């Protein structure tokens, strides 16, 4: 693998890391629309990596940097997922509560209608 291609791959991993940091920050701030947009950006970067990173294992320094970046990306993803799942749980409770409220109103309306 040429040095230029190696640097492009590292730059793409670094871009993925930057996006996952932004995603984590958006999740911390409950900015769910921003999080969804950033997820699309991350997906396109991952697709680019899948097409270009041929896993040349002969460059130990390159592989060490890639491993470091991947570990950071995964750590950000894990924390983002934890925050997202908590929000989804809260959203599910709100939706369930609204559903119960509607059933109660419907039942009350039927008996007084």
pTM score, two decimals? 0.72
pLDDT along the chain (113 residues), means of 10: 79 96 95 93 93 72 90 95 84 79 74 65
Assign domain 3-83 to its CATH architecture: Up-down Bundle (1.20)
pLDDT of residue 56: 62
Quickly count: other Cβ atoms within 10 Å of residue 83's Cβ. 18
Q: Of 38, 35, 40, 43, whose CA–CA distance to 12 is shortest?
A: 43
User: What six digits make up the tokens of 59?
Assistant: 């460059």
pLDDT of residue 53: 77
Name the DSSP class of 1: -
Provide the sign of the torsion angle of the four alpha carbons 13, 19, 20, 21, taken in this order. Answer: positive
Provide the sign of the torsion angle of the four alpha carbons 45, 48, 50, 56, taken in this order. Answer: negative
| Percentages (nearest 5) of helix, strand, coil residues in the chain | 90, 0, 10
CA separation, residue 83 to residues 21, 26, 107 (Å): 13, 10, 36
């Amino acid at each position: 693998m040429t040095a230029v291609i190696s640097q492009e791959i590292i730059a793409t991993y670094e871009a993925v890391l930057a996006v996952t940091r932004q995603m984590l920050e958006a999740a911390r701030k409950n900015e769910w629309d921003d999080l969804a947009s950033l997820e699309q950006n991350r997906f396109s970067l991952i697709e680019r990596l899948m097409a270009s990173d041929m896993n040349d294992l002969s460059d130990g320094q390159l592989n060490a940097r890639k491993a470091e970046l991947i570990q950071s990306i995964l750590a950000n993803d894990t924390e983002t997922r934890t925050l997202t799942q908590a929000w989804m749980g809260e959203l599910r409770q709100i939706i369930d509560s609204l559903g119960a409220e509607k059933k109660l109103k419907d039942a009350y309306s039927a008996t007084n209608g």
